[in-house]
């Protein structure tokens, strides 16, 4: 699974540093940007333009006025260091426009750290969380989130890419605002070997065979034992991981067909490298020993930074010669708002959500970090369309499929894992594999209504 997801909690005083406008005779208490690391020591960071002064004692009247004027936003994130710095700068910029708002920013490494920190107490201000789909599902199940369809306008809801709505919706309510969508697989290829990438699985096998010299070079490398690499071919066979009601359906003719295709790639040595783990497949491509690699969109940034081969990227090939395009699983990271946001702090909470959802802000992150936007207009912007790699990634993402909020993607993939390994080790047939996958789900109760 992909790391680097952020959980965003809004508490009126936590996210950004703010100060009074220059020249103001009577100023509110200077705002501060407080940064914490996994609930450990707290460090207060002030911008160069902010000179804190001692806070005078407040009378009851002063405190009442302060409560009315100031809003505190508390934010939790688990971004990479560079993205975390960018987010803190955004908080500072936002606070300049909202001088009565203060931020506290916490960094967490694991979802469990955040869940434990939230506890059951309701925040005094607004708590924003930036995190992955697993965290979104868990916090929703614990009834800790505020429905965002109560905060966003119908127009803003309509601006969300369809997959962003599907993956964060439960019982007709939107519980997370997707900050980015991704996690999908792509086809990477070595341009010194391949001028035009294959467009269907028949071509993929043919091209792979043509570049294969056993024990020296292979046509294609994949992360063999991970079921995520099987999922794209399931929909090309006319089905998906769940049915129309949102119930898991792993034992279907479509799953058998997808598994058979995947098994044949390996057992017939159809130009594919021997059974390989994730890093082994990546290394074969990076060292020029594999002409093609199927890997996640997260590899784009890594290859840009330190590629040793002349590489390019393409959408996954369609099934055979049909128009059945590969549909990888798509997941995202989401802004979430802690439940029980008081009316007096809702306005600044909404302002911040609107800020992070603007096309220009999302495009800025796309250009800087290679993450795909979720706003419809941003996805159609010329900066995405003119970037050869982001354009392909966006095209493949929008052709992928998302699971509703109530479906546990981790549980589905875990149920597939052991049977897939047994099939690739030639212990069971694809038919037996599909039955075993479904059986592994047991009697789990799925709350998957969209």
**CATH code of residue 149:** 3.40.190.10
Q: Are residues 248 and 300 in the same domain?
A: yes
The whole domain housing 288 covers: 185-328+407-440
DSSP classification of residue 421: H
Q: Are residues 160 and 276 in the same domain?
A: no
Q: Are residues 304 and 435 in the same domain?
A: yes
Query: What residue spans of 70-119 are helical by DSSP H?
Result: 81-97, 111-118
pLDDT digits (tens, 9 = 90+) for 102-139: 989 999 999 998 998 887 566 666 899 999 999 999 99
pLDDT digits (tens, 9 = 90+) for 323-364: 788 999 999 999 999 987 777 788 999 999 999 999 999 999
Residue 395 contacts by C-beta under 8 Å, 6 or more apart in sequence?
Answer: 315
What is residue 90's three-state secondary structure? helix
Least Cα distance to 10 among 79, 83, 115, 104 occurs for 104
How many domains are contained in the chain? 2
Average pLDDT on 270-286 reads: 88
Residue 402 predicted with pLDDT over 60:
yes
Q: Are residues 322 and 353 in the same domain?
A: no
Q: Are residues 273 and 197 in the same domain?
A: yes
The reported pTM is 0.83
Q: Are residues 367 and 430 in the same domain?
A: no
Stretch (H or E) spanning 74: strand 71-77
- 445 in a domain, yes or no? no
Q: Are residues 145 and 202 in the same domain?
A: no
- 195 in a domain, yes or no? yes
- 387 in a domain, yes or no? no
Q: Are residues 311 and 205 in the same domain?
A: yes
- 388 in a domain, yes or no? no
């Amino acid at each position: 699974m992909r790391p680097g997801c952020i959980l965003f909690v809004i508490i009126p005083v936590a996210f950004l540093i703010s100060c009074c406008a220059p020249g103001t005779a009577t100023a509110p208490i200077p705002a501060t940007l407080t940064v914490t690391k996994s609930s450990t020591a707290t460090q207060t960071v002030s911008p160069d333009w902010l000179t804190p002064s001692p806070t005078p004692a407040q009378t009851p009247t002063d405190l009442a006025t302060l409560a009315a004027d100031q809003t505190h936003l508390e934010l939790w994130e688990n971004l990479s260091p560079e993205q975390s710095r960018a987010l803190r700068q955004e908080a500072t910029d936002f606070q300049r426009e909202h001088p009565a708002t203060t931020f506290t920013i916490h960094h967490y490494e694991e979802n469990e750290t955040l869940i434990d920190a939230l506890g059951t107490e309701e925040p005094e201000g607004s708590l924003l969380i930036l995190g992955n789909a697993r965290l979104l599902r868990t916090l929703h199940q614990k009834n800790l989130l505020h429905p965002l369809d109560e905060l966003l306008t119908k127009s803003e809801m309509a601006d969300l890419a369809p997959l962003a709505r599907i993956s964060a919706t439960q019982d007709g309510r939107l519980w997370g605002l997707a900050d980015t969508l991704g996690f999908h697989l792509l086809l990477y290829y070595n341009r010194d070997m391949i001028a035009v990438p294959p467009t269907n699985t028949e071509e993929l096998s043919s091209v792979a065979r043509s570049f294969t010299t056993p024990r020296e070079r292979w046509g294609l490398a994949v992360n063999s034992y991970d079921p995520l690499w099987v999922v794209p071919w399931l929909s090309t066979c006319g089905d998906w991981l769940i049915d129309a009601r949102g119930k898991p359906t792993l034992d279907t003719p479509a799953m058998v067909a997808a598994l058979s295709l995947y098994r044949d790639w390996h057992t017939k040595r159809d130009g594919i490298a021997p059974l390989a783990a994730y890093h082994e497949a990546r290394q074969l491509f990076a060292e020029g020993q594999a002409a093609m690699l199927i890997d996640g969109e997260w590899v784009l940034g890594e290859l840009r930074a330190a590629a040793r081969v002349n590489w390019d990227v393409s959408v996954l090939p369609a099934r055979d010669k049909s128009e059945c395009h590969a549909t990888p699983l798509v997941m995202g990271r989401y802004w979430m708002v802690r439940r029980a946001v008081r009316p007096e702090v809702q306005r600044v909470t909404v302002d911040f959500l609107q800020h992070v959802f603007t096309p220009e802000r999302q495009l800025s992150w796309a250009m800087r970090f290679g993450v795909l936007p979720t706003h419809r207009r941003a996805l159609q912007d010329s900066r995405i369309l003119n970037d050869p790699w982001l354009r392909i990634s966006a095209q493949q993402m929008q052709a992928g499929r998302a699971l509703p909020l109530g479906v546990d993607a981790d549980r589905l993939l875990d149920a597939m894992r052991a049977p897939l390994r047994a099939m690739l080790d030639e212990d069971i047939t694809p038919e037996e594999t599909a039955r075993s996958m479904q059986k592994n789900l047991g009697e789990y109760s799925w709350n998957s209504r969209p």
